[in-house]
Amino acid sequence: MTGSNTGSTYGGSSVGAGTTHQETVGDTDVLGISPVAAEHLVTEFVEDLSVFDGIVAKARAIVLRYPDSRSALLPMLHLVQSVEGRVSQAGIQFCAAQLDLAPAEVSAVATFYTMYKRKTCGEHLVSVCTNTLCAALGGDDIYNKLGEHLGEDGKKLGHNETVGEPGAPGSVTLEHAECLAACDLGPVIQVNYEYFDNQTADSAVALVDALRAGEKPAPTRGAPLRDFRTAELELAGFWPEDEADYRASVDGPSAAVETLRGAKLAEDRGWTAKPYPAKAPLPEVEKK
Amino acid sequence: MTTPNTPSQNPTAEPTINKPAPVTPVLTKRWLSPTSWSLKTYEQLEGYSALRKALGGTPEQIVELVKASGLRGRGGAGFPAGVKWSFMPPNEDKPHYLVINADEGEPGTCKDIPLMMADPHSLIEGCVIASYAMRAHHCFIYVRGEALHCIRRLNAAVREAKAAGYLGRDILGSGFDLEIVVHAGAGAYICGEETALLDSLEGRRGQPRLKPPFPAAAGLYGAPTTINNVETIASVPFIVNGGADWFRTMGTEKSPGPKIYSISGHVTNPGQFEAPLGTTLRELLEMAGGMKDGVPLKFWTPGGSSTPMFTAEHLDVPLDFEGAAGAGSMLGTTAVMVFNETVSVPWAVMKWSQFYEHESCGKCTPCREGTYWLTGILERMLDGKGTPGDIDTLLDICDNILGRSFCALGDGAVSPITSGIKYFRDEFLALCAKNTGDQNAATASPALAGAHS
Ligand SMILES: Cc1cc2nc3c(=O)[nH]c(=O)nc-3n(C[C@H](O)[C@H](O)[C@H](O)COP(=O)(O)O)c2cc1C
Ligand code: SF4
Ligand code: FES
């Protein structure tokens, strides 16, 4: 027995296989890496909330949807992101004021969910599914390729990092995502949560090049592409007011070949479920 | 001694006339129609006729019908829907709520999102009928935030249904009122767990609640609540129109009805196939055009990554609740992910572990710490630095998570690992090959008390 094998191990296995925790993970400058200061996550002063003047009425409308006002918090955080492209300390204070909560209560919620971004997002958010199934079909390669392609000065663009001035036209934020519930169409990418199905590394590079050039490629399934902030406004429950725009977005494509595969096979082969019986009355029950 | 007359032993003895077709489109039968998501199309194809029929009966009759149909929850656990509904109190001392679980996040699962895109009114109609049966006047559809197009289609469907009098006050002159709110989540797999979903819907961090009290006693805002999956509720209008006996012409005695099987991965034609419960992978593969490029099957999941994996020896396991459980797995969400021989099992297991580590809500120690350790060890093994002792350590950690976690996410997290090691231990051992022999020191002194019992 060597005696040196103490530290952070689990039954003889240690995460990085160093002999002590320090050796395994290196010393940590907690304050140095903490985003607290850089992102003003903790501030003592009251932020200027005037950027949100335009959404006060919408925030109140969200509250009215629910029997209990606190239920409005998740949609309201989406609403705040539609203004700033992220959830800032000011956004947190805005929600807290609208819902009569402490800012700390709102922070605790905002930091729990992946879709609330701490850094300002690009005009477009590109999410690459790297869960097992998509990864096995090429999702990991796509994510790596995009990181290299969008990186600058020989440095890869990392998870939740943005190329271009965040929010400016053509800016793109890259992230890897968990299963996006489109596995039959994998590998899958979303741009502003619209689906781009059956991707390859090449098609993905062409996609982000088009976004960088200010184009709006059509998703395989979803509405005509807009930007991240508009998507967040929709997630808060606000839809295009112009009727034609609204119809175009609702009627954006969804009928992928894969989605319809079973229904089509049944139609071609003449397979159906049994027809309903002539009469199917509701069962009799004793009146209570 | 065999008994040649039992149907399972001698399928040809079964009267073929009663056998359902291999694919039985019910939930998916409108999907091929142009603008299948519009109210106009829906009404032309029997839409909202079940609602009229249901409102002509009593709530008790609807609950009884759903019980008789044997409909089981499609969200993973398979709890009988009618029985769950009957737990709702008969009085209305407090408001009742129906909450639809449309958080679809279990890796591999991709049925509810196409359903809500293609035929949102079937879910809305199911919601009205179920709410009527449970005396709920407020229904929430909690959709994962990344499913923006579904949220859009559902909102449009609610608008249309309201304008047509299928929602709102005094629905179709029945005196019954119902509001439906479509609520977007914000990216957290755990919010699919029904009590975490309720906390999230209340505007909190999505962390599971202690049960009891069960939601039927104290759910949303502490009031009686039923949570059902999208596919469960979308099945209800068809049961109302066709009756329990019709529903039971598909599937098995204990797992009746049709089910959307989602086939993904290394098959020629992946996609959604609605077939009677009890369909086998062999049959599904035939529908999906077989293995892609003829590369042989290696492993697959019957119902998402949280259901223990199967191998080629399970091709004929009937994929219903009993069949999958009998073979050592679970039916889950019928998310059939198919992997061929080119995929390394330890790699796949590591990727899934990273998912569970990321999604663990952190509320309980076995899952929060366990998924961290599992992932770290698997990553190191894949990095070529594993030792055979690691396999035992992985199993030991799994043992400390399974059944000891606060919610079923922890149990799900160990499924890929324990089943992967069960069927493919050699592959894990192969990762350690070059480290065997000289690592005795590393395995000899477990430093974490309690790691070994
Ligand atoms: C971690 C976890 C995630 C879950 N995700 C979902 C989900 O996305 N959709 C769903 O319907 N059920 C999900 N469930 C199951 C629900 O807790 C619940 O059993 C189900 O919604 C009940 O509906 P049903 O009876 O109609 O199936 C999940 C469970 C766990 C433990
Ligand atoms: S098992 Fe995991 S997800 Fe469930 S409560 Fe515990 S930490 Fe949270
Ligand atoms: S694994 Fe990528 S969408 Fe499911």
Residue B135 is assigned to a structural domain of this protein = yes
**Of B274, B309, B340, which one is at a domain's C-terminal end?**
B340
Q: Are A75 and A235 in contact (CB under 8 A)?
A: yes
Q: Say what the pLDDT of residue B373 is.
A: 97
pLDDT level of residue A221 (50, 70, 90 thresholds): very high
Partner A contacted by B250 (CB < 8 A): yes
Based on the domain organization, do B209 and B268 belong to the same domain? no
For residue B404, count other CB atoms closer than 10 A to its CB: 14
CB within 8 A of B354, min separation 6: which ones?
A: B375, B379
Based on the domain organization, do B117 and B218 belong to the same domain? yes
Based on the domain organization, do B336 and B353 belong to the same domain? no
Q: Say what the pLDDT of residue A15 is.
A: 55
Q: How many CB pairs under 8 A join A and B?
A: 348
In this structure, what CATH number is given to the domain that contains residue B32?
Answer: 3.40.50.11540
Domain ranges, residue B357: 345-448
Q: Say what the pLDDT of residue A25 is.
A: 55
Residue B453 is assigned to a structural domain of this protein = no
User: What burial class does residue B426 get, using C-beta atoms within 10 Å of its C-beta: 0-12 exposed, 13-18 middle, 19+ buried?
Assistant: exposed
**Of B340, B365, B387, which one is at a domain's C-terminal end?**
B340
Q: Alpha-carbon distance B403 to B168, whole Å?
A: 44
CATH topology (fold) of A50-110: Arc Repressor Mutant, subunit A (1.10.10)
Residue B1 is assigned to a structural domain of this protein = no
Based on the domain organization, do B349 and B335 belong to the same domain? no
Based on the domain organization, do B287 and B239 belong to the same domain? no
In this structure, what CATH number is given to the domain that contains residue B426?
Answer: 1.20.1440.230
Q: Alpha-carbon distance A170 to A212, whole Å?
A: 4
Residue B6 is assigned to a structural domain of this protein = no
Based on the domain organization, do B409 and B389 belong to the same domain? yes
Based on the domain organization, do B159 and B209 belong to the same domain? yes
Based on the domain organization, do B275 and B358 belong to the same domain? no
What is the C-alpha radius of gyration for chain B, rounded to an integer number of angstroms?
A: 23
Say what percent of chain A tops pLDDT 90: 82
Based on the domain organization, do B331 and B225 belong to the same domain? no
Strands B138-143 and B179-184: parallel
- pLDDT, one tens digit per residue, over A62-120 is 999 999 999 999 999 999 999 999 999 999 999 999 999 999 999 999 999 999 999 99
Residue ranges around ligand 2 (CB below 6 Å): B 190, 208, 360-364, 367-368, 405-407, 409-410
pTM of the model: 0.91
Based on the domain organization, do B377 and B438 belong to the same domain? yes
The counts of H helices and E strands in chain A are 13, 5
Residue B85 is assigned to a structural domain of this protein = yes
The DSSP secondary structure of B16-27, one letter per residue, reads GGGPPPSS--ST
Which residues, numbered 34 to 93 in chain A, qualify as contacts with chain B under a Cβ-Cβ cut-off of 8 Å?
A: 65-68, 70-75, 77-78
Based on the domain organization, do B336 and B352 belong to the same domain? no
Residue B375 is assigned to a structural domain of this protein = yes
pLDDT at B216 over 50: yes
**Of B340, B375, B398, which one is at a domain's C-terminal end?**
B340
Selected residue with higher pLDDT from A166 and A42: A166
Per the structure block, which two tokens stand in for B271?
């996609």
H helix or E strand, kind and range, residue B416: helix B408-432
Q: Closest partner residue to A12 among B31, B37, B442, by Cβ?
A: B442
Relative to the alpha carbon of A185, which ligand is closest?
A: 3
Cα dist from B173 to B49, B55, B127, B176, B177, whole Å: 14, 9, 18, 8, 10
Query: How many domains in chain B?
Result: 3
Q: Alpha-carbon distance B315 to B333, whole Å?
A: 18
Strand partners, B129: none
ipTM: 0.92
Which CATH number fits the domain A124-250, given the four candidates 3.40.30.10, 3.90.1150.10, 3.40.50.11540, 3.30.70.580? 3.40.30.10
For residue A105, count other CB atoms closer than 10 A to its CB: 18
Residue B109 is assigned to a structural domain of this protein = yes
pLDDT level of residue A32 (50, 70, 90 thresholds): low
Per the structure block, which two tokens stand in for B8?
């399972």
Residue B421 is assigned to a structural domain of this protein = yes
Per the structure block, which two tokens stand in for B257?
């009805």
Domain range summary for chain A, segments of one domain joined by +: 50-110, 124-250
Based on the domain organization, do B198 and B223 belong to the same domain? yes
User: Are the Cβ atoms of A260 and B138 closer than 8 angstroms?
Assistant: no
Q: Alpha-carbon distance B301 to B299, whole Å?
A: 7
Of B22, B3, B23, the C-alpha closest to B13 is B3
Q: Say what the pLDDT of residue A286 is.
A: 79
In this structure, what CATH number is given to the domain that contains residue B277?
Answer: 3.10.20.600
